[in-house]
Amino acid sequence: MNTITATRAEYSVVACAEAWRDAGEILASPMGTVPSIGARLAKLTFSPDLLLTDGEALLMGDVPALGAPSGVTEGWLPYRQHLALVASGRRHVMMGASQLDRYGNQNISCIGDWDRPKRQLLGVRGAPVNTLNNPTSYWVPRHSTRVFVEKVDMVSGVGYDRAAAAGPSATRYHRIPEVISDLGVFDFETPDRTMRLRSLHPGVTVGQVQEATGFALTIPDDVPYTRAPTAEELRLIRDVIDPKGLREREVPSA
Amino acid sequence: MTRDKTMPADAVVARLTSGMTLGIGGWGSRRKPMALVRALLRSDLTDFTVVSYGGPDVGLLAAAGKIRRLVTAFGTLDSVPLEPHFCAARQRGDFELTELDEAMVMWGLTAAAHRLPFMPIRAGLGSDVMTVNPGLRTVTSPYEDGEELVAVPALRLDAALVHLNRVDAQGNGQYLGPDPYFDDLFCQAADAAYVSCERVVDTAELLKDQGPQSLLVKRAFVTGVVESPNGAHFTSCAPDYDRDEAFQRAYVRAAKDPEAWPAFAERFLSGDEHSYQTAVAAFHEESA
C-alpha cells in the first residue's frame, strides 16, 4: 500500500482531518461521512485532544469504527449543553451546505422564495448560532454550480460580508476556516474575504473547479495539491476507522 | 400528596381549544408525545401555533391542516433527513412559519420559563432569520462592551405536550434516556403541561434504580398525566425502545405520495390509540 493509490475520498478525508489540526481540546463536530472519518483520523494522529460525540448525547472516550458503538463514554453532552458549548467557542463544526456563496454564506433552509419555497429543506437548524460562535467549516461531497452559487436563497450560516454588515457582535467570534469539497480545499484568505482555491485534490484541474463553481474564485498563481495521506493514515482510514468503505459511497471513485 | 392527575389522552384534548399555542417536546424523531398528537388528530381542534424542534409531530399536524403558525428551527426525522409532510406543507404554503435558530428557540422557552420578556443571544445576527422575522429586535448591552445582540422574545405557551419514560400520578416526571431535550423547559414555559409516559409508577419507585438527576419535570408544572405505553411510537424513547425505523420508512413513503397517504392514514390514524398500536403490530407481523 502506498500513498499514490489513495482515492479521491481518502484525499478528502485527509483534507477534512487537517481542518482540526492544532485545534486543541475542543469538540470536533463533523457532519457527513467523510468529515466524520476525518475527525477520527485527526484524533488518532495529530490532534489527540479532540472531543467527539457519538452523534447523540455522549462524548466518546474511544475512537470506534464508523457505525460501530463506542465502548467508553467520557462525558455527557445533551442538546442544551451542546448549545452552551457552541456559545463558548470550544468547538469546530464542519457542516454541509445545500448552497454556498463566495463569502461563505450557507443555506440549508429552503430553495426558492422563502415565503413559498420551491423546495423546503431542513430549516436553518443551528447554522446561525454555529457561525457566530465557533469556527464553522463546510463539506460539499459533490462540487457543482447547484451548490456553489452566486447568491444563496436563505442565509442560514453567516458569511463574511453579512457578518461584517451586521456589526462587531456578529464578527467577534465569526470564522469560516475552510470549505472542503470532492475537488479541493478552499478558504477566505483574500483581502475582501471571498473564496479562494487553496489546494486541488490530485487529478483535478483548475478549469474543472471553475466550471463547477457558480462564481469567480480567487485562483493563486501556484495552486498546490492537497497533501497525500501517509501510509499510516491510509491504514487507519481503511482498516480502523472505515473498514466498510462508506467514504467511497459519499465520494465515489471515478 | 394525593392529587391524582392521571387522565386519558382524550381528556387532555378536551382541555385544549382551537387557536392555542402548543409546545411539543422531544427533538426531531426522538421522544415525541405521539399518542397525544394522535389524540389531537382525532379531534376537531385546529388553528394551532406549534412550537417544536420539529419531527413527525409537526408533519402529522401539518398534514391534517391543524397548524396556523409553526415556530421551529427545522423539520427532520433524524435517520431520514427531511420531514416529508413538513416540506410538502411548506411548499403548499399551508401554514405561516417563524423560522428561528435552534438556540434561539431554547432561549425563547427559557425566557418564558423565567417570566422574562426576552433573552439576549448572538445567534441570528447577519442571517436571514432576521429578514424573515421582521419583528425580531436587537438589544444593546448596558455595560462597557456595548454589544448589540438579538433579543429573542419569550415563547410563552398555552399548553405543553411532552412524553417521558416514567411519571408518578402527581406529575413528577423521569427521563431514562441520554438526553432530556427541552421537555422541562416546555413544561415551565406553559400555562398547562400534559405529560404522557410509558408507565405511571408509585413515587417511591422513581428512584429505585435511578439517581435524582433523572427527575426532569416537577409536579408543580404538570396539569395532567397520561399513561400511554409505546406512546412515542414511531419516534425513539430510549431505553424503553428505539425508533421504529421500518415504520418510519413506511410513513415517509406514504407521506411522499399523495395517493398513498389516505390509505396509510385510514389504516393507522382513523381509530383510537389502541387501534393504532394494534395496526402497528399487524404491520410488523406482515413485514416479518
Task: Return the number of CB contacts < 8 Å for A and B.
Answer: 139
Q: Cα–Cα distances in Å, from B146 out to A89, B107, B136, B138?
A: 20, 21, 19, 12
* pLDDT at residue A163, rounded to an integer: 98
CATH number of A3-247: 3.40.1080.10
Q: Do B99 and A123 touch (CB under 8 A)?
A: yes
Q: Is A76 on the interface with B (CB under 8 A)?
A: yes
- Which chain B residues are Cβ-neighbours of A117 within 8 angstroms? 90-91
Q: Is A56 on the interface with B (CB under 8 A)?
A: yes
* pLDDT at residue A5, rounded to an integer: 87
Q: What is the spatial distance between Cα A157 and Cα B25, in angstroms, rounded to a whole number?
A: 25
Q: Is A98 on the interface with B (CB under 8 A)?
A: no
Q: Is B211 on the interface with A (CB under 8 A)?
A: no
Angle (CA) B95-B62-A113 rounded to 5° is 40
Which of A76, A86, A128 is closest, CB to CB, to B127?
A128
Pick from B27, B50, B70, B125 the residue to mutate for testing the A interface (most A CBs within 10 Å): B125
Q: What is the spatial distance between Cα B108 and Cα B52, in angstroms, rounded to a whole number?
A: 12
Nearest Cα residue to B118 out of B154, B90, B161: B154
Given a contact cutoff of 8 angstroms between Cβ atoms, the answer to whether B201 and B195 are in contact is no
DSSP H helices in chain A: 8-19, 33-44, 79-88, 127-133, 160-166, 168-171, 206-211, 231-235, 246-250
Q: Which amino acid is at A134?
A: N
Q: What is the spatial distance between Cα B35 and Cα A88, in angstroms, rounded to a whole number?
A: 37
Confidence of residue B55 (pLDDT cuts 50, 70, 90): very high
Q: What is the DSSP letter of B91?
A: H
* Mean pLDDT in residue range B268-277: 97
* pLDDT at residue B22, rounded to an integer: 98
Q: Do B126 and A132 touch (CB under 8 A)?
A: yes
| ipTM field | 0.96
- Using one digit for the tens of pLDDT, what is the confidence trace for B132-153? 999 999 999 999 999 999 999 9
- Which chain B residues are Cβ-neighbours of A172 within 8 angstroms? 122, 147
Based on DSSP, count helices (H) and strands (E) in chain A, helices before strands.
9, 12
Q: Do B129 and A128 touch (CB under 8 A)?
A: yes
Enumerate the β-bridge partners of residue B151: B120, B137
Q: Do B127 and A157 touch (CB under 8 A)?
A: yes
Q: Do B128 and A155 touch (CB under 8 A)?
A: yes
Pick from B30, B31, B127 the residue to mutate for testing the A interface (most A CBs within 10 Å): B127
* pLDDT at residue A97, rounded to an integer: 98
Q: How many CB atoms neighbour CB A131 within 10 A?
A: 33
DSSP H helices in chain B: 9-15, 34-42, 56-63, 84-92, 102-113, 129-132, 183-188, 245-255, 261-269, 273-287
Class of residue A54 by CB neighbours under 10 A (exposed 0-12, middle 13-18, buried 19+): middle
- Average pLDDT of chain A, as a whole number: 97
Which of B73, B90, B149 is closest, CB to CB, to A169?
B149
Q: Which amino acid is at B114?
A: H
pLDDT, one tens digit for every residue, chain A (254 residues)? 444 589 999 999 999 999 999 999 999 999 999 999 999 999 999 999 999 999 999 999 999 999 999 999 999 999 999 999 999 999 999 999 999 999 999 999 999 999 999 999 999 999 999 999 999 999 999 999 999 999 999 999 999 999 999 999 999 999 999 999 999 999 999 999 999 999 999 999 999 999 999 999 999 999 999 999 999 999 999 999 999 999 999 999 86
A215's grid cell:
462564481
CATH number of B9-101+155-244: 3.40.1080.10
Q: What is the spatial distance between Cα A92 and Cα B73, in angstroms, rounded to a whole number?
A: 21
Could you tell me the residue ranges of all domains in chain B?
9-101+155-244
* pLDDT at residue B288, rounded to an integer: 78
Q: Is A131 on the interface with B (CB under 8 A)?
A: yes
* pLDDT at residue A1, rounded to an integer: 44
Closest alpha carbon within chain A to B97: A115
Closest alpha carbon within chain B to A111: B91
Which of A79, A118, A166 is closest, CB to CB, to B27?
A79
* Mean pLDDT in residue range B277-281: 98
B172's grid cell:
413528577
A51's grid cell:
472531543
Class of residue B145 by CB neighbours under 10 A (exposed 0-12, middle 13-18, buried 19+): exposed
Q: Is B103 on the interface with A (CB under 8 A)?
A: yes
Q: What is the DSSP letter of A227?
A: P
- Using one digit for the tens of pLDDT, what is the confidence trace for B58-116? 999 999 999 999 999 999 999 999 999 999 999 999 999 999 999 999 999 999 999 99
Pick from A98, A103, A129, A162 the residue to mutate for testing the B interface (most B CBs within 10 Å): A129
A76's grid cell:
455527557
Check pLDDT > 70 for residue B13.
yes
Q: Do A133 and B123 touch (CB under 8 A)?
A: yes
- Which chain A residues are Cβ-neighbours of B27 within 8 angstroms? 79
Q: What is the spatial distance between Cα A177 and Cα A188, in angstroms, rounded to a whole number?
A: 7
The radius of gyration of chain B's CA atoms, rounded to the nearest angstrom, is: 19
Q: Is A90 on the interface with B (CB under 8 A)?
A: no
Which of B81, B132, B178 is closest, CB to CB, to A58?
B178
* Mean pLDDT in residue range B207-227: 97
A54's grid cell:
457519538
Confidence of residue B1 (pLDDT cuts 50, 70, 90): low
- Which chain A residues are Cβ-neighbours of B73 within 8 angstroms? 123-126
- Using one digit for the tens of pLDDT, what is the confidence trace for A28-86? 999 999 999 999 999 999 999 999 999 999 999 999 999 999 999 999 999 999 999 99
- Average pLDDT of chain B, as a whole number: 97
Q: Which range (B16-20, B194-198, B284-288) has the least confidence?
A: B284-288
Q: Do B87 and A120 touch (CB under 8 A)?
A: yes
